[in-house]
Amino acid sequence: MRYPLSRPNRSGKLALAIGPVLVALVVVWLLGIPSRAGAQPPIRIGEINSYTGIAAGFTLPYRQAVEMAVEEVNAGGGLLGRRVEVLFRDDKGNPADAVTHAQELVFGEKVALLAGTFLSNVGLAVSDFARQNKVLFVAAEPLSEAVTWSQGHRHIFRVRPNTHSQGRMLAERAARLPYKRWAVIGPNYEYGRRAWETFWARLKELKPDVQLAGEHWPTLGKIEPSGYVTALLSQQPQAIYVSLFGSDWIAFAREAGKRGLFQKAFFVGILLGEPEYMEPLKLEAPEGMLVTGYPWYDIQRPAHKEFVAKFQKKADRTPVVGSLVGYVTFLSIFEAIRKAGSTETEKMVAALEGLKIETPIGPISFRPFDHQSTMGAWVGTTKLDPRRGGGVMVNWEYVPGEKVLPSEAEVRKMREAAK
Amino acid sequence: MALLIVQLLTGLANAMFLFLVASGLSLIFGVTRIVNFAHGSFYMLAAYLASTLVTALPLGPSSFYAAVILAPLGVALLGGLIEVCLLRRIYRAPALYQLLLTFAVVLVIGDAVKFFWGTENRTGPSPPGLSGSVPILGQLFPTYDLAILLLGPLFALSLWAMLHRTRWGILIRAATSDREMVGALGVNQTWLFTGVFVLGTWLAGLAGALQMPRVALTTVMDSTVIVETFVVVVIGGMGSAFGALLGAVLIGVLQAFGILWLPREFHLAIVFILMAAVLILRPWGLLGRPEAETLPPGGAVGLGAGGRLRAPGWVWAGVLLMAVALPPLLPAYYVWVLVEILALALFAASLQLLVGTGGMLSFGHAAYFGLGAYGAALLMKRAALPMPAAFALAPLVAAAAALLFGAFCVRLSGVYFAMLTLAFAQIAFAIVHQWYDFTGGDNGILGVWPSASLATPVRYYTLALLAAAVGLGFLWRVTGSPFGYTLRAARDHPRRCQAIGVNLRAHRLLAFGVAGLCAGLGGAIFAFSKGSVFPDYLSMPMSVQSLVMVLIGGIHALAGASVGAAVYKLLDIVITKYTGYWQAVLGGVLACLVVAFPHGLVGFVQARWTRMRTSLG
Amino acid sequence: MVETPLLEVRDVWKAFGGVQAVAGVSLTLPRGEVRALIGPNGAGKTTLLNLLTGQLACDGGVVLFKRERISGLPPERIWRRGISRTFQVTATFASLTVLENVQVAILSHQGRSRDLFSRTGRLAREAALDFLKRVGLEDQAENVCASLSFGDLKRLELAIALANEPELLVLDEPTAGMAPQERMDLMALAVTIVRDRAVSVLFTEHDMDVVFAAAERIMVLHQGRVIAEGTPRAVRDDPQVQAIYLGGLG
């Protein structure tokens, strides 16, 4: 039986045409099963990231830089005499999908290691998979400090400076400001909350008389910005800490600008100086905000200038911090494989511990006791640059990770507490 | 006080956008009875289109206003095209097919936006002349929002005038209250439907274009807005444009003040709590009119021949043999894929019991799958039960939730039933998502791995196979039991069924519980295979996924759901591997299924098989 | 000794919006009587039947069945008390076979509707075939109900309605849409079956030939009120009834 409006004959024929296509798809999948034999199989690296969904706005320039790093290493003859191949998978912003891909990459594609991820909860989920299955996972961008500390383990390494480091950098500077009444707005989500907790704890240490005038935790990706702006205005804080990101930040910033909130309070924004956040806002970006970010346009290191030039040529756009992190992540992976002389997990882990890598922004290393890299971040304030058609960072300084990362004893304490 | 007034104005300005989107959806539903998921996609498309037009049009400052006028028109045109080419074919199809077809449109438009505009966040330009702010009671208020506040009521008035003062509007209202009557009036129904669809789409597009200077343009705008729009339309009353206005104002104001007064844990849930409350107390909405629903024969899902697949014995034997003998020979990954297929098969088959056998279009089935998974994780992590005990008890958690939610849902039917199941699923999702101390919030619960003796892929697969065999066997048994037959009887003719002594609500509630139990078992299998649980397991996309699996398999055969789960998972793997535009491909496949295989793959094969056998004599 | 009536309706009312569909109807129906309910279109016949069997709730008045109040009960409870019915628009379970249609009804009567584990196939099969035999449908037992002719559907519905061994059978236009000879046959069949078991019948019918052939007494409803009641002959001769029927035609 069919429903009345469909025409039986045509439908039948269409069905006959689609049936074989479906069968063919399954056959294609099954054909993939026998492992591809060959004299020198490539080194395969599994890369999982949010190419669609809530974080999709950040990941393309990241991927372009990863591809650039891979092209470079292959042009130089590959690693251990083998080509490098990266298998990209889209987690759609869902941790569950990321774990599914991890299973597929590790057990199906037999990748040597996993890399990538952007969202904190996705990073933590893949990390747990790595722990259970004893697979190396080099996390690129997830910022939650739990990744390497409270939930750290032998098989996880992380490149980007985490919420703790960046929050601390900002707190050190904010403590020098005269503001006592603070408010916070951030997404009700792992990163947003952690980013605030470290900052606030450190600020209170440095400046015990600060008080909290209000806190706001809109749902990630679903902010109704005008209401929050009005609420913040009414609480009259002297300074506001923002850990919003993505579309939430853009929507909030547009409302805050129009309603004069930027003029009424001093703003501190974690990550918000990064081109990812400044560029979409164009000339609506706030001025004078204390931020961590990535002033790629002003970094004078020759190696970095070369990186920017190469990236612009490859991607036909300017880099964002994700591009830098992606590039550095894969440089680190390559270096570890070279040093290990193998793609065996335990040898790569051993190689990564304490490994020093020369990157476009100078040398960084992976701390052997917590597997956090010492990559730092840039702290500065924002300014509108009509010539560039958007905001830039000025008065910035590069704060290397070593300056803000906790000691081995402190890390051990955090891990104990988490148990 | 000034704050409250400004906050009120803020809420009202947001409400105006919601009103535009929701009135369009409501009009379309009222006349065509289609719950159009693609409505949010038109909104998104118009926002993107407008942002491009502003820079592309050579009109200087006025190109902004030209873009805001042109973009919705372009989108409305596209809407008309889609109506004529696709939707027109399915007006009399069961609601399930309509929902899935509009969902296919969502997927395709979503990928088209990614293709043409990329995935990076964008901002539309500010409106020339309206980009500043004006002081109201000492607070700055954006001029543009003020303009919207004035424009909104103007639109509401013109809509009112159109609906009450023009012939066309009167026809729309007539069609909304009684579809058959319009046919009797000798009106060309086809073009009335097209016209209303274009108008509704235009309203969505207008809202999108007007939003452009206020928010960030993202590729997830569509899903964010459509969920809110459903809430507004349901609260106001489906088919009532003024209900949409009332609903929008309520939601806008509630959100504006919720920020001030509600603890943050409630922000996500509050609108769905309101939606569920309205559906329970006044299912037809605040301004809607109760109606005796004119469902197509067989209710929301259409009439099917059998509840059970009659396949030759060797097919079953072969499947069983393969399921037992093959996995030890497969690479580990494929064993995990099979485990996942088993979990999804239970998920889909349990939904099939509700949708296919019971004729109850559940739109929130993921809640029970997810609660099964969370039940397993929480029992193991918080109650410190051993893994096998957590695995065995988890389905009961899901069944308990199903009975609780079901008790309210079974009082409704058709699309109202679907909306209430959706509301409950969203409430469950919000609770799991926001209750950080207990459920871990959006970080989920990690480390939910099988106990050591079950941790190898083949061993866990064996457990999963046993559990799935028990679950599917139970569902199969239930479908063939007096209960199952009576459930089908209740689907085929509810009134008749009541008049043979069947308490429909109790009967359906029991079906809900059974389905929840089996979905929960699927969730438990899934949780331990992934080693973690996340709120996404309860999310709307997951519910849609389960409907897609049921549709692929064919809603009327229990075995169909399992086949659907397998085909869906394999398709997902293949598509994801070879293209970044997996959504568009999935959407295309879905649209083909709805149009070409309304009875799913299994139904199709079965029909061919029967025909072949009869022709062979 | 006065025999207690099987069904007693006292001053029942029902309005839809502004239309008073049933306006203070009272009736008593003794055990074993076959009674027809006639009246022009819109007289309130179907509404009255729906009030008796619980599809609609009364605005006022009481319905007693075997001296117990049944008004206010849901249809399934009324059915369990022993009142069964058919619908004006044929109501069967289209996706089930003819046999299964009756099985489902019998299993409900046996209180086994919520049995989750038994196989339906053989349950109550003999009893169901027996009912089908009585209405002359045994040859069609294995056919899907959707493939039946209109007349056979009416027979099937009768079989379903008999499944709970009712004491009162309510038939809403049991022969509507059938050919004249078929009508007489079906009604004769129904009457034979109920006579065997002393079942009371209350039925509405447009075909006066059927009415006069089958009914022992006739009630005439007009604008929601009973305007006449009596033997077929008495009703036929009632001037008021003639006025309505003839006047309505004229």
Q: With beta carbons under 8 A apart, name residues in chain B contacting C108.
A: 486, 500-502
Q: Where in chain A is the domain with CATH 3.40.50.2300?
A: 43-161+300-374, 164-298+378-404
pLDDT tens digit string along A81-114?
A: 999 999 999 898 888 889 989 998 998 889 999 9
Residue B160 near chain A (CB below 8 Å):
no
Q: How confident is the model at residue B295 (pLDDT cuts 50, 70, 90)?
A: very low
Distance CA A321, CA A293 (A): 8
Distance CA B616, CA B364 (A): 44
Host H or E run for residue A240: strand A239-242
Q: Assess whether pLDDT exceeds 50 at residue B302.
A: no
Query: Closest Cα of chain B to C143: distance in Å?
Result: 11
Residue B536 near chain A (CB below 8 Å):
yes
User: Pick from C112, C115, C160: which is nearest to B500 by CB?
Assistant: C160
Query: Closest Cα of chain B to C44: distance in Å?
Result: 19
Q: With beta carbons under 8 A apart, name residues in chain A contacting B142.
A: 226, 255, 258-259
Which is more confident, B142 or B555? Answer: B142
Tell me if B582 and A90 make a contact (CB, 8 A cut-off).
yes
Nearest CA in chain B to A18: B592
Matching CATH topology for B2-281 and B305-616? yes
Tell me if B532 and A96 make a contact (CB, 8 A cut-off).
yes
* pLDDT of amino acid A141: 92
Tell me what percent of chain B is helix, strand and coil, each rounded to the nearest 5: 75, 5, 20
Q: Assess whether pLDDT exceeds 90 at residue B425.
A: yes
pLDDT tens digit string along B323-378?
A: 888 888 888 888 988 999 999 999 999 999 999 899 899 999 999 999 999 999 99
* pLDDT of amino acid B390: 96
pLDDT tens digit string along A200-230?
A: 999 999 999 999 999 999 888 888 888 899 8
Q: Assess whether pLDDT exceeds 60 at residue A18.
A: no
Which residue, among B33, B443, B548, would best test binding to A if mutated, counting the most A CBs under 10 Å from its CB?
A: B443
Q: With beta carbons under 8 A apart, name residues in chain C contacting B491.
A: 95
Residue B610 burial by Cβ neighbours in a 10 Å radius (0-12, 13-18, 19+): exposed
Tell me if C100 and B486 make a contact (CB, 8 A cut-off).
no
* pLDDT of amino acid B94: 78
* pLDDT of amino acid B128: 87
pLDDT tens digit string along C17-58?
A: 888 899 999 999 999 899 999 988 888 999 999 999 999 999
Interface of B with C (CB under 8 A): 297-298, 303-307, 477-478, 480-486, 488-489, 491-493, 495-504, 506-507, 510, 514
A95-103 and A120-133 helices cross at what angle (nearest 10)? 30
* pLDDT of amino acid A26: 60
Q: Assess whether pLDDT exceeds 70 at residue C2.
A: no
* pLDDT of amino acid B307: 46
Phi and psi, residue B128, nearest 5°? -60, 135
Domain ranges of chain B: 2-281, 305-616
Least confident segment among A271-275, B308-312, C125-129, C164-168: B308-312
Q: With beta carbons under 8 A apart, name residues in chain B contacting A216.
A: 259, 264
Residues 6+ apart with CB under 8 A from A361: A299, A301, A303, A304, A324, A328, A375, A398
Nearest CA in chain A to B257: A227
Residue B599 near chain A (CB below 8 Å):
yes
Residue C122 near chain B (CB below 8 Å):
no
User: Pick from A32, A100, A128: which is nearest to B447 by CB?
Assistant: A128
Question: What is chain B's mean pLDDT, rounded?
Answer: 88
Q: Average of pLDDT values for C88-102?
A: 91
Q: Average of pLDDT values for A313-332?
A: 95
Distance CA B187, CA B27 (A): 18
CA atoms within 13 A on the CB side of B406: 25
Q: How confident is the model at residue A22 (pLDDT cuts 50, 70, 90)?
A: low
Pairing type for strands A356-359 and A362-365 reads antiparallel
Please state which CATH number belongs to domain B305-616. Answer: 1.10.3470
User: Which chains have 3 or more CB–CB distances shorter than 8 Å to chain B?
Assistant: A, C
Nearest CA in chain B to C106: B500
Q: How confident is the model at residue A6 (pLDDT cuts 50, 70, 90)?
A: very low
Tell me if A96 and B457 make a contact (CB, 8 A cut-off).
no
Chains B and C: how many Cβ contacts under 8 Å? 121
Question: What is chain A's mean pLDDT, rounded?
Answer: 89
User: Pick from C79, C94, C146: which is nearest to B499 by CB?
Assistant: C79
User: Pick from B121, B256, B571: which is nearest to A250 by CB?
Assistant: B121
Q: Average of pLDDT values for C108-129?
A: 92
Q: Assess whether pLDDT exceeds 50 at residue A125.
A: yes
The dihedral sign for the CA sequence A305, A142, A111, A104:
negative
pLDDT tens digit string along B96-145?
A: 888 889 999 999 999 999 999 988 888 888 888 888 888 888 888 899 99
Q: Assess whether pLDDT exceeds 80 at residue B292.
A: no
* pLDDT of amino acid C182: 85
Nearest CA in chain B to C89: B496
Q: Average of pLDDT values for A156-165?
A: 94
User: Which chains have 3 or more CB–CB distances shorter than 8 Å to chain A?
Assistant: B
Tell me if A60 and B144 make a contact (CB, 8 A cut-off).
no
What is the residue whose two structure tokens read 């909130």? A261
Please state which CATH number belongs to domain C7-82+166-249. Answer: 3.40.50.300
pLDDT tens digit string along B509-544?
A: 999 999 999 999 999 999 999 999 999 999 988 999
User: Pick from A107, A188, A259: which is nearest to B140 by CB?
Assistant: A259
Residue (of A393, A396, A379) closest to A279 by Cα position: A393
pLDDT tens digit string along B1-38?
A: 788 888 899 899 999 999 999 999 999 988 888 889 99
Question: What is chain C's mean pLDDT, rounded?
Answer: 89
What DSSP assignment string belongs to A289-353? -EEEE--TTT---HHHHHHHHHHHHHHSS---HHHHHHHHHHHHHHHHHHHHTS--HHHHHHHHT
pLDDT tens digit string along A295-304?
A: 999 999 999 9
User: Pick from B481, B495, B514: which is nearest to C115 by CB?
Assistant: B481
pLDDT tens digit string along B163-176?
A: 889 888 888 888 88
Q: How confident is the model at residue B291 (pLDDT cuts 50, 70, 90)?
A: low
Please state which CATH number belongs to domain B2-281. Answer: 1.10.3470
Q: How confident is the model at residue A191 (pLDDT cuts 50, 70, 90)?
A: confident
User: Which architecture does CATH list for A43-161+300-374?
Assistant: 3-Layer(aba) Sandwich (3.40)
Contact B145, B210 (CB under 8 A): no
Tell me if B596 and A15 make a contact (CB, 8 A cut-off).
yes
Domain ranges of chain C: 7-82+166-249
Residue B133 near chain A (CB below 8 Å):
yes
Tell me if B503 and C76 make a contact (CB, 8 A cut-off).
yes
What DSSP assignment string belongs to C221-238? EETTEEEEEE-HHHHHH-
Q: How confident is the model at residue B306 (pLDDT cuts 50, 70, 90)?
A: very low
Q: With beta carbons under 8 A apart, name residues in chain A contacting B227.
A: none
Residue A4 near chain B (CB below 8 Å):
yes
Residue A317: both structure tokens together: 């756009």
Tell me if C93 and B498 make a contact (CB, 8 A cut-off).
no
Distances in Å between the Cα of A13 and the Cα atoms of A113, B601, C148 are 47, 14, 29
pTM of the model: 0.90
Tell me if C116 and B297 make a contact (CB, 8 A cut-off).
no
* pLDDT of amino acid A293: 95
* pLDDT of amino acid A303: 96
Query: Closest Cα of chain B to C56: distance in Å?
Result: 11
Query: Closest Cα of chain B to C246: distance in Å?
Result: 30
Residue A11 near chain B (CB below 8 Å):
yes
pLDDT tens digit string along A31-86?
A: 554 444 445 899 999 999 998 877 887 899 999 999 999 999 999 999 999 999 99
Q: Assess whether pLDDT exceeds 70 at residue A2.
A: no
The dihedral sign for the CA sequence A52, A58, A61, A66:
negative
**What CATH number matches the domain at A164-298+378-404, 3.30.980.10, 3.40.50.2300, 3.30.230.30, 1.20.59.20?**
3.40.50.2300
* pLDDT of amino acid B180: 66
Tell me if B599 and A89 make a contact (CB, 8 A cut-off).
no
Query: Closest Cα of chain B to C186: distance in Å?
Result: 20
Percent of chain B residues past pLDDT 70, beyond the cut: 94
Which residue, among A9, A35, A106, A258, would best test binding to B if mutated, counting the most B CBs under 10 Å from its CB?
A: A258
Least confident segment among A383-397, B136-150, B416-430: B136-150
Percent of chain B residues past pLDDT 90, beyond the cut: 53
Residue C35 near chain B (CB below 8 Å):
no
Distance CA C99, CA B240 (A): 45
Give the N- to C-terminal CA distance of chain A in Å, as an integer.
60
Residue A33 near chain B (CB below 8 Å):
yes
Distance CA B448, CA B439 (A): 13
* pLDDT of amino acid B560: 83
User: Pick from B296, B571, B576: which is nearest to A90 by CB?
Assistant: B576
User: Pick from B303, B478, B502: which is nearest to C108 by CB?
Assistant: B502
User: Pick from A18, A132, A188: which is nearest to B264 by CB?
Assistant: A188
Contact A304, A327 (CB under 8 A): no
Q: With beta carbons under 8 A apart, name residues in chain B contacting A121.
A: 442-444, 534
